[in-house]
Amino acid sequence: MMKTIENTFFEGERPLFASEDLLVQNVKFYPGESALKQCLNIKASNCEFMGKYPFWHNNNTQIENCRFTVYARAAIWYSQNLRMINCVVDAPKMFREVTHFYLENTQLLSAAECCWNCHHAEFHNVEIHGGDYLFMNGSDINIDGFRLQGNYAFQDAHNVVIRNAHLDSKDAFWNTENVTVYDSVLNGEYLGWHSKNLRLVNCKISGEQPLCYATDLVMENCTMTDTNLCFEYSTLQADIQSEIISVKNPRGGYIRANHIQETIIDENCINPGACEIVTATHAGV
């Protein structure tokens, strides 16, 4: 049976350290550190967190309708089996080395250095601002309904599926492996460099020099706006339902587009002729 603590406040160091089977409801956690550290089976509802490191080294945590102020930095680290629903987070470095966690209808408004080394994550209707390096070194990530503002997203991540997203992110998906993105807007230069098995389906892509040095890139029914010097040294199968400003030295596969303003095949091309380029007005390289 769960013990309940409600309609009160705590402050200082480790007020509920190593608690088990506990519901905290309508509780304010004033400045201090590690309010609910090393805990098991915790539920937090309608609480406000104003101190650092509130949930570290925890297992089985549910957090609903809570707010993490800017002072609650590095809130959830080294934990597993987390559910977080209808929350607002103003603090940076929210998650680190968390595994098996679920976020729904949640906003992270200052999400620098968030979700590093996190695994087995599921996000639904999540909005993130200032999320530079989001999910760096992450794996087994499933996202549906997502808005991100933050550069270098998903660097070195593996086994990721994203649906219905809008990403404003320079250098997104660098050095990733086995990433699939459906029905999304991807805005930012240098998209997907050094990726392996990146698949983009029904996506709208903008930004200069995208998708270079990619291996086994697949693009299905995508559009590209203001994209130049695309696909340098990439192997790909690309079906583009729009114009491309320029393509440079692709390494192999095929590119099919409505129109390409300029195709650059110069002395630095690897395997000239290995990539078939077909448009309504231009065929063959």
**CA 32 to chain centroid:** 30
Cα separation, 245 vs 143, in Å, equals 31
Q: What is the pLDDT of residue 280?
A: 76
pLDDT tens digits for range 210-266: 999 999 999 999 999 999 999 999 999 999 999 999 999 999 999 999 999 999 999
Q: Is the dihedral of CA 138, 154, 186, 232 positive or negative?
A: negative
Q: What is the pLDDT of residue 120?
A: 98
Q: What is the pLDDT of residue 283?
A: 43
Q: What is the pLDDT of residue 271?
A: 86
Cα separation, 267 vs 285, in Å, equals 14
Q: What is the pLDDT of residue 199?
A: 98
Q: What is the pLDDT of residue 281?
A: 60
Cα separation, 164 vs 93, in Å, equals 25
Q: What is the pLDDT of residue 285?
A: 42
pLDDT profile of the chain (285 residues), mean per 10: 96 97 98 97 98 98 98 98 98 98 98 97 98 98 98 98 98 98 98 98 98 98 97 98 97 97 94 91 48
CA dihedral 227, 232, 238, 241 (to 10 degrees): 20
Q: What is the pLDDT of residue 1?
A: 83
Domain extent listing, the chain: 132-279
Q: Which of 255, 207, 249, 259 is nearest to 228 (CA)?
A: 207
The C-alpha angle 22, 23, 25, rounded to 5 degrees, equals 150
Burial of 234 (0-12, 13-18, 19+ CB in 10 A): buried
